[in-house]
Amino acid sequence: MTNMAVAIIYFAIMIVTAVFFLITYTGGNRKRPVARAFLFIAVMMLCWVVCEILYHLTQNAMIARVLYDLKIPFVTLAATSTVPFVLYFYGLDRYLSKTAYILLYLIPAITTLFALTSPFHTLLRQELVINTSPVLHTDHNVRGVWFWVHTIQVYLTVTAVLILTIRQHYKLPRSKRAASNFLLFGMTLTLVLSIVAVSNILTIPYDITLIGMCIALIFFYIGTAISERAGFLSLARDEVFNNMNEMVFVLHADDTIAEMNKAAKRWVEKMKIATQESFGEILDSLRAAGAEIRPAPKEDDGMDIHLPIPQGEVTIVNYKENIIKDDDIVKGKFYLCSDVTKSRAIFSQLTEHAEIDPLTGLQNRRGFEMATAALDTPPNLPLAVIFGDLNGLKTINDTLGHKLGDQLIVTASALLRNACPPSGRLFRIGGDEFVMLIPNLTEQLAKERTREIYSLFESSRNLSLQPSIALGYAVKEHPDQSLQALIEEADSRMYENKQDMYESTSRKDGNHEKALSF
């Protein structure tokens, strides 16, 4: 190995360091504290490597002597600057006060002073003899007291930074450790190679610590770049979090509130809630103020808080619990709360309209299915089911038009509505099909109610469009009976009656034709 070969190796290190320095310096985030700390480390390493290059290229023993010690300030400053770099990286810069900076750089400052004046004292080198040679420089070095103070300070600093990095690394969620992995590897490499260099395990003509720091700088850059991207996304998430219209409450695993967004803070202040330690306490305060908490209309939509307001109306705030996990370990939860007063009103209207037949104003098949589930309870027994089917609707639609057919349906629904008792429910479940559900109606009374409906339709003969209907009924008297089976029974009876009415009408028409033939 020659001086030129060693200088070339250092020159390559300088080029690599300069490239990452320029990339960071010309980047858009160079004003970030973590980027500034990275740039300072890179500058110290560039100065360090320049000293090494000039040392191996010079043939002047005095210049070589000066350059040999001149690199020491850059070594200690580069190592010491990893402290603010790591603190900025993990967002712990609150610990970097002016006092902290003074204490941190006190020994490096003294080391710099001693290095610049090293020919005049023996604090750094008790003895230093450099033999300059065109082939390869050699040296005889006996280290002084302050050199060991400087060395201990550097190694304690690097070790402390590595411990801090490991501790902060494992505090991060696994999903956010990518950038920290590079920082952890870089610091570990720096410490290991520094120990190898000072212990003289390897006798090589170049500074292995410098090479280790160069490789570590590359990892620092990669970690910083990933961190910047994550930092931007974190900033974006914070902006979204605080500008959401919905209220967000973030809770620790013990249910205490860790954070609220701006909307949540405004809402809590508006509701005059004093206790804000946990979300449960907020709910208790709302209950004390007269609020009711009920399940949302849809099963998976969380809970609704019905808040009374002075005007006598009700504001509805929905909240839903969401679990925060890291590797299937529950770390906490968050509640997303939103004012759903208008949407609940619209939902209620849509639900109501979805159950209403627009032509007759009666409930439709959907309403009928919901009503059967609601009325099928023991207190409503006996529960009567009366099926009705209009006669001749298809013929009227085909011959006279659907407009008159609709008039016939409206007329029939009005007659059935008059025949339905206040406790009963009337439904139009098809084009010409109607159903009546009447709680607490015995089979005898159901039979009488059917006769009343027939009589009511018979009495409407004076109408231009005389409606005719076929009826069938069934009654559920015991809880173990199937309501669906009884509905099918009523429907079957209705069709039997309809067939009988059709056959009866056909016989009458046939007799009338015979009478005319005579």
Whether residues 386 and 491 fall in one domain: yes
Whether residues 295 and 236 fall in one domain: no
**Type and span of the H or E element at 319:** strand 314-326
Domain's final residue, options 320, 347, 374:
347
Separation of alpha carbons 251 and 232, rounded Å: 24
Provide the number of structural domains found in the chain. Answer: 3
Separation of alpha carbons 229 and 423, rounded Å: 67
Quick check: helix, strand or coil at residue 321? Answer: strand
Whether residues 317 and 176 fall in one domain: no
Kindly state the DSSP code that residue 363 receives in the 8-state scheme: B
Residue 32 neighbours by CB distance under 10 Å = 17
> Mean pLDDT, the chain, as a whole number?
86
Whether residues 47 and 15 fall in one domain: yes
- Reported confidence tier of residue 516, pLDDT bands at 50, 70, 90: very low
Report pLDDT digits (tens) over 101-122. 999 999 999 999 999 998 888 8
Residue 433 neighbours by CB distance under 10 Å = 17
Closest CA to 446 of 480, 411, 415, 471: 471
Whether residues 12 and 56 fall in one domain: yes
Q: Dihedral sign for Cα 122, 127, 129, 130, please.
A: negative
- CATH code of the domain in which 13 resides: 1.20.1070.10
Q: What is the 3-state secondary structure (H, E, C) of 244-309?
A: CCCEEEEEECCCEEEEECHHHHHHHHHCCCCCCCEHHHHHHHHHHCCCEEEECCCCCCCEEEEEEC
- Does 512 or 284 have the greater pLDDT score? 284
Whether residues 103 and 200 fall in one domain: yes
What is the structure's pLDDT at 515?
Answer: 29
- CATH code of the domain in which 291 resides: 3.30.450
Domain's final residue, options 323, 347, 371:
347
What is the structure's pLDDT at 170?
Answer: 86
What is the structure's pLDDT at 85?
Answer: 92
Report pLDDT digits (tens) over 131-187. 888 877 777 788 889 999 998 998 899 999 999 999 988 888 776 688 888 888 888
Kindly state the DSSP code that residue 310 receives in the 8-state scheme: T
Residues with Cβ within 8 Å of residue 453, at least 6 apart in sequence? 386, 388, 415, 416, 419, 469, 471
Separation of alpha carbons 75 and 279, rounded Å: 53
- Does 6 or 110 have the greater pLDDT score? 110
Q: What angle do CA 103, 170, 230 make, to 5 degrees?
A: 85
Whether residues 175 and 257 fall in one domain: no
Q: Which residues pair with 256 in a beta bridge?
A: 278
Q: Tell me the backbone φ, ψ of residue 329, rounded to 5 degrees.
A: -100, 125
Global pTM? 0.51
Averaged over 439-444, what is the pLDDT? Answer: 94
pLDDT > 80? residue 48? yes
Q: Which residues pair with 295 in a beta bridge?
A: 303
Averaged over 389-417, what is the pLDDT? Answer: 91
- Reported confidence tier of residue 438, pLDDT bands at 50, 70, 90: very high
β-pairing, 433-439 vs 383-390, is antiparallel
pLDDT > 80? residue 233? no
- Reported confidence tier of residue 487, pLDDT bands at 50, 70, 90: very high
Lowest-confidence region among 11-15, 240-244, 345-349? 345-349
Domain's final residue, options 241, 273, 292:
241
Whether residues 256 and 236 fall in one domain: no
pLDDT > 70? residue 311? no
β-pairing, 257-260 vs 292-295, is unpaired
Q: What is the 3-state secondary structure (H, E, C) of 164-210?
A: HHHHHHHHCCHHHCHHHHHHHHHHHHHHHHHHHHHCCCCCCCCCHHH
Whether residues 310 and 424 fall in one domain: no
* Domain hosting residue 372, numbered range: 355-517
Quick check: helix, strand or coil at residue 425? Answer: strand
Question: Would you state the structure tokens that stand for residue 335, as one six-digit string?
Answer: 């509640």
Q: Dihedral sign for Cα 175, 176, 177, 178, please.
A: positive
- Reported confidence tier of residue 232, pLDDT bands at 50, 70, 90: low
Whether residues 185 and 252 fall in one domain: no
Per DSSP, helices labelled H in 81-118 are: 82-89, 98-116
Whether residues 279 and 234 fall in one domain: no
| C-beta separation of 154 from 194 below 8 A | yes
Whether residues 274 and 161 fall in one domain: no
Quick check: helix, strand or coil at residue 229? Answer: helix
Largest CA distance in the chain: 153
